[in-house]
Structure 1
Amino acid sequence: MTEYKKGLLAALACYILWGVLPLYWKLLEGTGAYEILAHRIIWSFVFMALLLAALGMGSLFRNTVKDLCSHPLKGALMVSASLLITANWCIFIWAVTHDHIVDSSFGYYINPLVSVLLGVFLFHEKLSKLKWASIVIAFLGITGMSIELGRLPLISVGLALTFALYGAAKKKLHINPFISITLETLLVLPWALGYALWLYTAGEGHFLAGSAMTDGLLIGAGIVTAAPLVLFSTGANHLPLNVLGFCQYLSPSLSLLLGIFLYHEPFSTVQLAGFATIWTALLVFSISDFREQRRKGS
């Protein structure tokens, strides 16, 4: 399997999992968003640490830490990636548990456009005329949806910016995805442990409060978080950032359908038109990318 195909398959699997993730967080709707976030960090780290031990990657982990410590710029990028993904998780969990799944899906429609532009300006990735046309079409669709909202969509913008910048940081770091995810959670682990402990001692936490289902879901947050992140890191390491960005449309499409048809969040005809416009942009981009890959293979 070529590096490109490996990255593409990993990215598609990742975005499908992310697309249906609101179903999981909805099961924890009675738990505070910050508590869910804290346990998401804690159990993601535990899961990844066990995985590294099982794969015998301890020496690679130590060598990576040494390399990051000896190169301040790379170390700063790792810290930035950790803070960005933590902020993204926080915004998304809050949005889902407060009935804003449609707003979150809008944010992830904006994100690919930001990712493409970052790919052009930060990594000097070149785009064909058709790909530029797809960006213009997507921009028109996003603009129409924004106008219909009549306000600055803070949830949407926050999700788009944090995740696009996170992807760019990961692209710059280009380190083993298992190591990267472990470090990202490790860097914010002190806050997560401190907050979870404070909630427990204050009698305000939901973990170990009598509900085995809640305990299981909070612990399971580590698996549902780490698995797609490993896939995303694999995709980021093997795909151009502009392709990775546009694959993202799969995730918000699934979330949007969940928000509208399962949780009955409001969705106007103008938003529907914007949705159709963005899918048109994705189709144009996909056609262009397919032609480019076929030419490279010939």
Structure 2
Amino acid sequence: MSEERRGYLYGFTACAIWGFFPIYFKLLRPASAFEILAHRVLWSVLFVAMLLAVMRNWRFLGRILRTPRLLGGVVVVALLIGVNWGTYIYGVNSSRVVETALGYFITPLFVVLLGVTVLRERLRLWQGVAVGVGTLAVGILAIDYGRLPYIALTLAASFGCYSLVKKRMSLPPAEGLFVESAVLAVPALAYLTWLNLSDGAEFGHLSLTHTALMIFSGVATAIPLLLFASAANRVPLVELGILQYVAPILQLACGVLLFHEPMPPARLAGFGLVWVALMIFTVDGIRGARAAARNRAAAVVIEPPAAALPAH
């Protein structure tokens, strides 16, 4: 199997795991979203710490501790991913799986908005059209829900901002997940201590299967992230972006087909507009990537030959 095909396999597997997360988190009920989140954080820290111990890779901690700006970035991304994870778990276990899927559908459009407003990037024509259609879709869905789809918007905003800050930090996936989870581990441990002292904890009080599933949440968090990182090293960026739609498609299928969440005509129309926006966004991205590749090829042609460079 070629490296690129292996990359597609890793990427699809990661997105498929994320796509079936609604089934997994529903199995963790009746534990509350906060209790599930706290356990997810703690077991993620322990699992990734074991991986790093096997790899004997702890030098990155010194670099983070010696760089105040990097340390501050770690705290920010930890808070953002904590909000994202907590909102997702709450959405799934309050029977709003369809809305959580919407959040991950509109995330690419939100990232474009961040690029324009925060990074001062130039908005291409078709990107603007995609964002406009996506905004109209959110408006229609807000009318259908009778409120703003705040779970979807929170997921898109938190993950979009997380991606923006994380990109500037340049931490490998395992190391990044460890430090982010480590920052959240202190409040998570404090919360679980209080929960146990007040006899409100479900962990360890229901069944061996439930306890094992709570512990396994750390592995379930880390494995798809590491698989996706491996895919990112082997698959072109545009194709990787298209692969990411697999997860919300499967989440939507779980919500409608498995959990029988309602999908009235207005809501279906709103989702239809979101998919139109994503099609426009994806086609524009493919065209942009091809144009950039042609420009790079042209630049190579007009560069002086390697023999003209000084040899050492």
TM-score bucket (shorter structure): 0.7 to 0.9
The share of aligned pairs that are identical, in percent, is 35
Q: Deviations over 1:107-159 (max 9, x none)?
A: 22332211122233444555543333323332222222223222122222222
Counterpart position of 2:264? 268
Q: How many Å apart are 1:227 and its aligned residue?
A: 2.0
8 Å CA contact retained: 2:31, 2:203: no
Distance 2:235 2:204 in 1: 42
Which sits farther off after the overlay, 180-189 or 104-113? 104-113
Letter in 2 for 1:275: F
Distance 1:237 1:171, change over 3 A: farther
Judge which range, 40-49 or 148-157, deviates more. 148-157
Structure 2 residue aligned with 1:186: 182
Structure 2 unmatched ranges of 5 or more: 298-312
- Counterpart-to-counterpart distance in 2, 1:71 and 1:271: 47
8 Å contact 2:20–2:251 — kept in the other structure?
A: yes
- Please say which of residues 272-281 and 25-34 is displaced more in the overlay: 272-281
Q: What is the match of residue 65 of structure 1?
A: 61
* Greater Cα offset, 172-181 or 108-117: 108-117
State the match for 1:152 in structure 2.
Answer: 148
TM-score, scaled relative to structure 2 = 0.82
Structure 1 pair 138/244, CA: closer, same or farther in 2 (3 Å)?
farther
Residue 250 of structure 1: aligned partner: 246
TM-fit CA distance, 1:248: 4.5
Give the structure 2 partner of residue 117 of structure 1.
113
Amino acid paired to 1:26: K
Instruction: Determine whether 1:92 maps to 2:126.
Output: no
Is residue 112–residue 249 contact of structure 1 (8 Å, CA) maintained in 2?
no
Q: Which amino acid aligns with 1:145?
A: L
Match of 2:274 in 1: 278
* Alignment CA distance shift 1:205-1:85 (3 Å): same
Given the superposition, is the C-alpha separation of residues 102 and 287 from structure 1 closer, same or farther in structure 2, using an over 3 Å criterion? same
One-letter amino acid of the structure 1 residue matched with residue 259 of structure 2: Y
Deviates more, 1:180-189 or 1:274-283: 274-283
Q: Which has the larger radius of gyration?
A: 2
Which residue in 2 is equivalent to 1:28?
Answer: 28
Mapped pair 1:134 → 2:130: yes
Cα separation, 2, equivalents of 1:123 and 1:12: 30
- The verdict on how the C-alpha distance between 1:161 and 1:10 changes in structure 2, with shifts beyond 3 A counting, is farther
Partner of 2:54: 54
Does the Cα contact within 8 Å between 2:138 and 2:149 map onto a contact in 1? no
Secondary structure in 1 aligned to 2:20?
A: helix
Amino acid at match of 1:45: V
Q: Distance in 2 between matches of 1:224 and 1:101?
A: 18
- Structure 1 contact 16–254 (Cα < 8 Å) conserved: yes
Q: Within 1, Cα distance between the matches of 2:54 and 2:68?
A: 30
Distance (Å, rounded) in 1 between the aligned partners of 2:5 and 2:158? 26
Q: Indicate how the Cα distance of structure 1 residues 125 and 240 shifts in structure 2: closer, same or farther if over 3 A, else same.
A: farther
Asked if structure 1 preserves the Cα contact closer than 8 Å seen for 2:15 and 2:244, the reply is: yes
Runs (5+) with no aligned partner, structure 1: none
Q: Partners in 2 of 1:74 and 1:55 — Cα distance?
A: 23
**Greater shift after overlay, 72-81 or 214-223?**
72-81
